[in-house]
């Protein structure tokens, strides 16, 4: 059979219909002990906000354990749309360190997935914590990244709120992992 090739599809924009869920950005209940706020912007290659994207985070609890059942506790999963300024935020708990497949210890981090218009596939990155200098220095995944680019994976503490911008291209592009 011959004929024209089917064009590839891109991700979105379709997020306003079914993927977001109420309070999806609240991985932990605001006001609960140990809750932290993470906020940032999703920016394109020109530094412009991406207003119609979806971000997901997946993380262990404060003891380094991934939950399989919510049972009213932190599940470790959150989902947030970006607003007109490309802004997103999550309320969560600081995750604990987890074992790497090779037996070493991974620094506390959030797994972040980005879905946005123009992407043929979702992007996967991590957010590390700025006050985990020693753990970050020995993290197996972070050590695969060129030293000059590691800062794109480490949040900044801005008065008790962690700030983490994600840049899709260009200068200071966030490191994304091929999985």
Question: What is the rounded distance in angstroms from the CA atom of residue 25 to the CA atom of residue 130?
Answer: 21
Residue 95 resides in a domain:
yes
- 7-13 contact pairs (CB < 8 A, 24+): 8/120, 9/120, 10/117, 10/118, 10/119, 10/120, 11/115, 11/116, 11/117, 11/118, 11/119, 11/120, 11/121, 11/122, 12/52, 12/53, 12/54, 12/115, 12/116, 12/117, 12/119, 13/52, 13/117
CA atoms within 13 A on the CB side of 57: 31
Distant-in-sequence, close-in-space partners of 120: CB < 8 Å, separation ≥ 6: 8, 9, 10, 11
Question: What is the rounded distance in angstroms from the CA atom of residue 139 to the CA atom of residue 129?
Answer: 12
CA atoms within 13 A on the CB side of 27: 29
pLDDT for the residue numbered 18: 59
Residue 105 resides in a domain:
yes
Count of domains forming the chain: 1
What CATH number is given to the structural domain containing 106?
A: 2.60.130.10
Residue 177 resides in a domain:
no
Question: What is the rounded distance in angstroms from the CA atom of residue 136 to the CA atom of residue 125?
Answer: 15
**Per-chain mean pLDDT for the chain:** 87
pLDDT exceeds 80 at position 152:
yes
Residue 60 resides in a domain:
yes
Residue 150 resides in a domain:
yes
Mean pLDDT of the region 21-40: 87
**Alpha-helix runs per DSSP H in 122-166:** 133-138
Mean pLDDT of the region 146-169: 96
Residue 81 resides in a domain:
yes
Containing domain of residue 128, as a range? 35-167
Residue 17 resides in a domain:
no
Residue 87 resides in a domain:
yes
Mean pLDDT of the region 67-80: 69
The DSSP annotation for 3-55 comes to -PPPPPP---S-TTTSS--TTTTBSS-TTSTTEEEEEEEEE-TTS-B-TT-EE
- Which pTM was predicted? 0.86
């Amino acid at each position: 059979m011959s004929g024209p090739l089917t064009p590839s599809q891109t991700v979105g924009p379709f997020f306003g219909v079914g993927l977001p869920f109420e309070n999806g950005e609240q991985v932990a209940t605001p006001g609960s002990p140990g809750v932290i706020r993470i906020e940032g912007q999703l920016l394109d290659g020109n530094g412009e906000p991406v207003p119609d994207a979806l971000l997901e985070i997946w993380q262990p609890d404060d003891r380094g354990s991934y939950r399989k059942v919510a049972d009213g506790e932190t599940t470790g999963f959150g989902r947030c749309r970006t607003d007109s300024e490309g802004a997103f935020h999550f309320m969560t708990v600081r995750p604990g360190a987890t074992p790497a497949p090779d037996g070493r210890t991974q620094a506390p981090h959030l797994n972040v997935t980005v879905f946005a218009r123009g992407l043929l596939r979702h992007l996967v990155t991590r957010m590390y914590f700025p006050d985990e200098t020693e753990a970050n220095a020995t993290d197996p995944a972070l050590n695969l990244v060129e030293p000059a680019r590691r800062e794109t994976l480490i949040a900044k503490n801005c008065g008790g709120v962690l700030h983490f911008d994600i840049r899709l291209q260009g200068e200071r592009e966030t490191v994304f992992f091929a999985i």
